[in-house]
Every structure is written in C-alpha cells, then in structure tokens.
Amino acid sequence: MRHEDRLEDRGARCITTLRSRKHRERRQKTADQLAEELEIPRQEYETIEAGQSGIEEYGPLLLHFAEIIEQPVFNLFYPCGLPLDKLEVNDYP
C-alpha cells in the first residue's frame, strides 16, 4: 500500500468517527449538546456530522503535510504549543 493511500485511509477513519451519528449516540449526546461542547453552532456541527465540511478535503492534506515535515498537525496551528496571538519570537526553539 502506498504511503498516500495509508494517510488517506487513516484520515478517512478519523473523519468517519467524528461525523458518526452512532458514535455521538453511544455517548448519549444530542447534536445540540455536542455542538455546545465544541462551542460551534448546531448547523456547523450537523454539516460536519453529515460529511459536508471542509475537513473532508483539507484534513487528509494537513495530515500528509504534517507527516512530510515530521510535525504533529497540532503544531501547524499552535507552534510550540502556543496560539499565534500569544507566540513571541523567543518562543521558537
């Protein structure tokens, strides 16, 4: 199996879990409760659960890029574990 195929497969599994209604229902959560916990509007949560959000396209690409540069995806958004608005030049290793 090609590296790209493995990444796509793993990304698809993660996205499938996130958007799984059964997963949410096993946790005994309503869409409203989960949207509130995630601090997003219910309509946005429903878009994710329906598999119609941008994460479907960009999630696997971000994962692939992160693996190429050997960094966790988290570091693409929060370098050194800090939000960009709190990051200073001296924070970089």
Q: Could you read off the pLDDT of 30-77 as tens digits, one per residue?
A: 999 988 988 999 999 888 888 888 888 888 898 999 999 998 887 787
Number of separate domains in the chain: 1
Amino acid, res. 25: E
pTM value? Answer: 0.52
Considering only residues 1 and 43, tell me which one the structure prediction assigns the higher pLDDT: 43
Q: How far apart are CA 28 and CA 13, in angstroms?
A: 21
Residue 15 has pLDDT above 70, yes or no: no
At 75 the pLDDT is 79
Distances (CA, A) of 11 to 16, 32, 92: 8, 25, 29
At 67 the pLDDT is 92
Q: Domain range spanning residue 15?
A: 3-91
